[in-house]
Amino acid sequence: MRNLLSAADLDRDEATAILDTAARMHGIQTREVKKLPPLRGRTIVNLFFEDSTRTRSSFEIAGKWLSADVINVSAKGSSVSKGESLRDTALTVAAMGVDALVVRHHASGAVQRLASWVDCVVVNAGDGTHEHPTQALLDAYTLRSRLGSLDERHVLIVGDITHSRVARSNVLLLTTLGARVTLVAPPTLLPSGVGTWPCNVGWDLDEALSGKAFGDVDAVMMLRVQRERMNGGYFPNEREYAIGYGLSPARLDLLPEHAPVLHPGPMNRGLEISSLAADGPHSVVLDQVQAGVSVRMAVLFRLLAGAGEEVSV
Ligand code: NCD
């Protein structure tokens, strides 16, 4: 594997190897000295054309803990705001002897295009409404830590599927790892063509959560309502959305005790998720953030040091 552009780049063995490497690296988070040597002398640029808190900082931390030099370039404050094209920006940054570009862009497909122009490693940190493979890996890591093997486990993904690169990458990766996925959303927030995806699709959250519609649930992932990508009325108002699709305290009671609640963040509290669900005993939201660092360390290590290499921790 040269780049990580899509969750579809990962077969079961490769995905499992990344998760296993991440598990070995996870322990570093509780050490006093958080530094391993394998990427010493390597340079990674985080090239972000869209806002980010978790993804950018965790890629930065991951690179630094592996001893790489990490530089952040964002559209604001760069020559992008002077009208430079994506290709010119990418070639300029790559010409500085960079080993890996970690790229987030608001246009679906932009990261794949960029990867065809440069010789260095490219990691997709989210392209438009298309894919976000490292998010899917950290979600799989979190689920595996809670549930063990994902074989035959049933994961509900709920909310704004249309605008969610997280949902797309998760459907691909979770099914690769043997899980069953059900998407639940109002019909207006389901993308066209969703019928061809390898998952169930439903509209009634209570039926899905209680297991009546698609069988018992092992985990539920709530998605953010992505208002910045909406240009029309996808639902009547926020109150109606919360009533139909929010993870309220009453809905939390429908979940089996063992089932974790995930959210990629940032959360709209009171809209897609209640504070009780976000902060309660089912919630693994902060475990996801922690897993993000370990999984990104594993991805950078495997892409830059080589898939055959073992990391000594
Ligand atoms: C997600 C993203 O940017 O796609 N967030 C993230 O990476 N943690 C989901 C979102 O923005 O809602």
Closest CA to 231 of 149, 148, 143, 129: 129
Under 8 Å between Cβ of 47 and 102: yes
From CA 273, how far away is CA 285, in angstroms rounded? 12
pLDDT of residue 75: 83
Residue 262 lies in a domain: yes
Could you tell me if 261 and 153 lie in one domain?
Answer: yes
Instruction: List pLDDT tens digits, range 54-63.
Output: 999 999 999 9
Q: What does the block give as tokens for 313?
A: 């921790």
From CA 221, how far away is CA 260, in angstroms rounded? 8
Q: Which atom of ligand 1 is nearest to the CA of 165?
A: 4
Residues of the chain with pLDDT under 70: none
Please give the DSSP secondary-structure letter assigned to residue 128: T
pLDDT of residue 94: 96
User: Cα(141) to centroid of ligand 1, in Å?
Assistant: 17
pTM over 0.85: yes
pLDDT of residue 128: 97
Q: What does the block give as tokens for 261?
A: 């609640």
pLDDT of residue 307: 76
Under 8 Å between Cβ of 289 and 250: no
Instruction: List pLDDT tens digits, range 180-202.
Output: 999 999 999 999 999 999 999 99
Could you tell me if 39 and 25 lie in one domain?
Answer: yes
User: Residue 108 phi/psi, 5° resolution?
Assistant: -60, 135
Helix (H) or strand (E) holding 111: helix 110-117
pLDDT of residue 47: 97
Could you tell me if 180 and 55 lie in one domain?
Answer: no
Could you tell me if 29 and 156 lie in one domain?
Answer: no
User: Cα(99) to centroid of ligand 1, in Å?
Assistant: 25
Could you tell me if 189 and 246 lie in one domain?
Answer: yes
Query: Ligand 1 pocket: which residues have CB below 6 Å?
Result: 54-55, 126, 132, 135, 165-166, 224, 226, 264-265
User: Cα(265) to centroid of ligand 1, in Å?
Assistant: 6
Residue 42 lies in a domain: yes
Please give the DSSP secondary-structure letter assigned to residue 149: -
User: Residue 45 phi/psi, 5° resolution?
Assistant: -110, 125
pLDDT of residue 230: 86
Closest CA to 104 of 153, 179, 54: 54
Residue 84 lies in domain:
7-130+289-304
The size of the chain, in residues, is 313
Could you tell me if 96 and 208 lie in one domain?
Answer: no
Q: What is the CA radius of gyration of the chain?
A: 19
From CA 71, how far away is CA 117, in angstroms rounded? 20
From CA 7, how far away is CA 170, in angstroms rounded? 8
pLDDT of residue 22: 98
